[in-house]
Amino acid sequence: MRNRRRNGRAVSRGSALPRRTRAFTLAEVLISLARMALLMTAAALGISAAQQAHAYNSEKSDLVARARGVLDRIIRDVRRAESVAVPNDRSITITMRDGSTRTYAWSGIAGGDIALTVTDGDGTKSAVLTDDVQTFTVDDAD
């Protein structure tokens, strides 16, 4: 069988490629794999940081929403109240027009809760409105 010459290289009749083809060396492949591993690690760290930030922001947003709900409830009751008393800087007692009283009180411990105690003709009922409260101060500014 006769070989042809193409660009100075011998080529067999059944193949259009030269006998000696160029390929990546083992060192080049290893370097490429190392670079890919670095890129993947950086991407994974970035995604992890983004997920942590999202979880933190979601938790804080939830806390703010719950605190806002409690404050809105207190404001609504104060607006409908017959009288308002501030027995200490951690609680507020609201007497409604129907004679019932509502006391909103913070436990006084950072991370504690705000509870509502309602006293009416049916007795006294208490419920925790929100927890993880860091500070709550009531100021009796006339």
pLDDT in tens, 63-107: 889 889 999 999 999 999 999 999 888 999 999 999 999 999 998
Let me know: does 52 contact 111? Beta carbons within 8 Å.
no
Residue 53 — pLDDT band, cuts 50, 70, 90?
very high
β-pairing, 9-11 vs 112-120, is: unpaired
d(CA 68, CA 70): 5
Residue 1 — pLDDT band, cuts 50, 70, 90?
very low
For the chain, give every domain's residue range: 26-133
pLDDT of residue 137: 85
- In terms of pTM, does the model score above 0.85? no
